[in-house]
Each structure stands twice: as structure tokens, then as C-alpha cells.
Chains A and B, each alone.
Chain A
């Protein structure tokens, strides 16, 4: 019995040390974001702020960093790309799982091969294509790239689709429903759990993506949360307390979503990886 307790203590100790290592890097950031300029310069990074409710830096970051606009831009990219991904992914899965047709094998294979090509390797050439389409420096470039290079979602839908009994659409077909009605009225609603998974992984990926907006949307007015925060560094580097506040503001939505949807996120992450 004693042994068991000692074992438990060790386990807790391990978890506490590990968790501390994860949380610690954020502490100086949070402290700094609540300090005034002179206080920031005169106190150490691990000294707590005098006033825990000094939100001045947040106000500066929000207004001068144009963060409201950044959240708006990211919001647009997120919503359009997510809706598009879901439609495209479910439609593809529907076609591949429910129809037998010539060329199906080739399609499946081309998607399979595409998973082998990481997007990061082809940017040099993709850039030229976006440029030729006259989409450089437009929101559409980001949306198109998020839609067009996402094969994982298709797989998630495909996998889930296989668990929906075919008898359901057969029954509907006998009742005279067309293929579109079957897709829209029967399949799409049943795919809801898979849609939730895709929204979570894809949403996190888009919100956190730096590469795409950085390379394709340099116009500061199109700045996403990532690129706006990145641009923040130069002009504000003399006042890191403001940069810290801006960083915290960017982290905040993630924190809220995480706390609210923890279970779904864990599930989404494991489903997404085991494609």
C-alpha cells in the first residue's frame, strides 16, 4: 500500500514537472503584457505585474496593431475555406464511395499520390500558378490553396462514409430521390461527426498558418492573425510589453476554443493523423 502511494507521488511529480515546462514559457509573456513601459524596463521577467488589471498594452496592441482587422481577415479565410472544404470533401467521398464508374481507380490513385507531396515542397512553382491566375495578393489565393491542397479531409470523409449503410440511400432511391437529394438530405447530415472533426483540424491549421498568407497575401490590409502579429514585431520592438499583449490576444481565442471543445479536439487530432 505504501509502495503504491509512493508510486503515485512519483507519477504526479513527473506530470507536474512536465506541465510546468509547458506553461513556464508563457509566464513572462503574460506578466510583461500587464506591465507599464517603465515597470517593464525596471523589473525582471518573472516579477509579477504590480497591477493585474492594467490592460493598457492590450488596448494599444488592439488598435495600433490592427488586430480587429486581422481577426476579420482570418475569419473570412476560415469560414469560406471551411465551407468549401466540407462541400468538396463530402462530395468527393460521396462520389467515390457510392458510385462505381470508369476512372474511379485513377481518381483514387491520384489523391493517394497527392498525399505524398507535401505542399511546402511545391511552393516555388505554385507561386507562379497563383500569379498567372492573377490571384496574387488576394484573399482568393489563400482560399484556393486551403481548398485545393487538402486531401486529408477527403480521407476523413471517405472513411466515415464507409460506415454509413448503403441501404439508406437505396431506400431513398426507391422513394424516387435523385442523387443530389440523397447527398444533401441523407449523406451530408449523417456525416456531421466527420464534419466536426474536419472543422477542428482544418480550423486550427488555418488559424495558425503563417506560410500561406505570408507568401501570397503581403498586403497589410489582407493580413491574417499570423502575418499581422509578425508585422507587429518591427515597429513595436522597442516596447515588448505591447508585443506580449498582442501575442496573448492571438492566443486567447485558441484557449477559449480549446477549453470549450477539448474532447472533440483530442478526437479530431487522432483521426486526422491516422489518415
Chain B
């Protein structure tokens, strides 16, 4: 019996060895190395690297080009908040069980499943403007609707470009929020709605006093995802514009600094800062919503 017990001490290690190894190799080791690189001037190739102290971190906060990228994420964060509001609204409408609701739902959710490069190309084509190439679909639509005066260079106008890109981001991710909200709404005890109907509560009251409290946790989660997501934006602006015209995000700047400018040291300090921001946000979330965490262990 004792033997059996010792055996049961060892067996699980056989099952977790591979995932643990991968975890150490691809998550923990990179994080440790990142800190180590961030205080050097390493170019990623040279066998040697010099210790430069905190000077890379100094650059992150003083180089206007890098610092600007943090402002870019504000556009995406604003977009994400709008997206949550729209999604909440649409999910509520869909939850009324109208005929054809499923059809609308699939139209709203489908873009979320699309390939990042495909999405970028769809919008590059939609946004293109004049210059011998013919107008893009968006400009033509606006003309048809009599809104021609709003036609602008969707990616060329520096005051508009990040709004356009944040718009693409809303288009792409709103379906995800709708699915989450709808799932949460549908898991609310239906008796609550029945009781509300008996009390002749109107739609607004149902929303305010039943739906909203029922989806608190999902809303909080969405906001957190919005924060970390808006800092980690990479593929859409990179594929559509290569980060030009003020659309460079923090992650694009990190990738370019590391792999194209050969400044792995500086890029690592950028990455450490990014990690710090994400950890901070998560920490805030965990403290604020501590009681509502599902215990997994």
C-alpha cells in the first residue's frame, strides 16, 4: 500500500513533464531573458553584449517616437469601449427572441472568425482613395447616401487613420463580445424575466435590474481584455500600413526595434514595459473582482 502511494506521487509527473518543460522553455525563460537583455545593448547577433544599466528604459519614456505609440493605443481602447457598448445593446436586442435573430447573429459574429490578413485586405480595398486607382467602396457608399462631404483619406489623413483602424478593430471583434454577452444573458434564470413581466416592468427596467447585474462579470472581463488588447495591437495596422502615418503601435515598434533595427536590448526593455502594464491591469482586475473569480483549483 505504501508502495502504491509513492507510485502515485511520481505518476502525475509523467503527465505534466512535457507541458511543464514547454512552459519553462517558452514562457518563463523568455521572460527572464527579456529582463537580462533589457539592460544591455545587444543587437541580437553579436556574441558579446555590454551592460548599459537602465538607459534603455530611459529611452522608452523619452524617445517621442516610442512614447507616441502608447497614445495610439488610446484610440483602440476608445474603440473597444464603444464596441462593448454596441455589443451589449445588440446582444440585448438579440436576446428578445425575435424571428430571424439567429440569422442576424451569424452576420454579426462572422467577421470575428476571419483571418487577420484577409481582414486587412478587405479594409485596404474598402478604404482606398482616388489617386488614379479609383475610389474605394466606402467613398462610393457615402456619395450614394449623400454624405460625400465626409469622404476623406481613411488611412492617409493622419487625424483620421487611427480612428479608421480602431473602426476596423470594432468590426472585427464585436462579434466576440456579442457571443459573450448573449451567452451570459441567456444563462440568467428565466424566472427572473417572468417575474418581471408579472410586475409589468418595462424593457429598460428589465435591462437595468436583471440583465446588467447578470452580466457584470463578463463586462469586467471585456474591459480588461480591452485594455491589454489595445496595447498589444499588431497585425491590422502592420499589414495595412506597415505602421506608417502614425499608426505604429507599441508592439509594432517593439518588433521593428528588435528585428529590423537590431536593437534587441532596447526592444526587450519595451517588452518589459508592456508586460508591466498588462500585469498591472490584470492585478487591478483581480483585486476589484476578487469575490467573483471562479476557483479553478
A interface list, Cβ under 8 A from B: 8, 11-12, 14-16, 18-19, 21-29, 32, 41, 44-46, 88-89, 91-92, 94-96, 99-104, 107-108, 110-111, 114, 116-129, 144-145, 147-149, 151, 154-155, 158-159, 179, 183, 204, 207-211, 215, 225-227, 229-230, 233, 240, 243-244, 247, 250-251, 254-255, 257-259, 262, 265-267, 269-270, 273-274
Contact = CB atoms under 8 A, between A and B. Distances in A.
B53 interface: no
Given A25-B171, A125-B34, A107 B115 contact: no
A125 B137 contact: no
Nearest to B44: A128
Given A44-B135, A148-B22, A233-B121, A155 B98 contact: no
Interface residues of B, number: 93
**Closest 4 pairs (CB-CB, A-B):** A148-B22, A28-B137, A95-B15, A95-B12
B19 A92 contact: yes
Contacts of A102: 9
Contacts of A207: 115
B48 to A, nearest CB: 15
B151 interface: no
Q: Is the interface of B mostly helix, strand, loop or mixed?
A: helix
B31 A120 contact: no
A125 B37 contact: yes
B93 A247 contact: no
B108 A22 contact: yes
Contact of B274 (A104, A121, A144, A209): A121
B122 A26 contact: yes
B251 A147 contact: no
A46 B144 contact: yes
Contacts of A147: 22
A210 B259 contact: no
Contacts of B110: 22, 255, 258
